[in-house]
Amino acid sequence: MHFQNLSRHQIFKRHFLAAGKYNPEPGELLKIRTAIANHWDEFLKILRARSFQKCFGEIHGQKLKTAPKGFLKDHPAIEYLKLKNFLAFVELHDDEFVISKEFPNFVASAFKETKPLVDFLRAALIT
């Protein structure tokens, strides 16, 4: 099982932190969507937590234009069910911050904020 945890990337002088599931296989995608559909209240609670919102805002990923096959168009979490990737993502615009003494603490804090999301996605994939 391939699973992305928090990572830092530098692409063309862009720094960012990301955690979640990127490009899940079709079977994995179905498992994640099913978990979101069945436990949407828990999923939304994770994403709407004040500390998660402060660090990441919304989760990111490519999205379908319509409801995925087998899911109701009016599901309370339909916008998340449309996702193809499930990433908590924050871009870091300050090059000096990335090399500062505070950066390791920021990374540790961000990782802590993503744990409930990563745990939710991981649980979806092992069921």
Where does 39-127 have alpha helices with state H? Answer: 40-48, 50-56, 78-81, 95-98, 103-126
Contact 5, 19 (CB under 8 A): yes
Would you state the torsion angle of the CA atoms of residues 79, 64, 55, 107, taken in this order, to the nearest 10 degrees? 140
User: Could you read off the pLDDT of 65-123 as tens digits, one per residue?
Assistant: 999 999 999 999 999 999 999 999 888 877 777 778 888 888 888 889 999 999 999 99
CA angle 26, 29, 31 (to 5 degrees): 115
Supply the pTM of this predicted model.
0.83
> DSSP per residue over 7-58, as a string?
EEEEETTEEEEEEEE-S--HHHHHHHHHHHHHTHHHHHHHHH-HHHHHHH-S
User: Could you read off the pLDDT of 23-34 as tens digits, one per residue?
Assistant: 999 999 999 999
User: Could you read off the pLDDT of 46-70 as tens digits, one per residue?
Assistant: 999 999 999 999 998 899 999 999 9
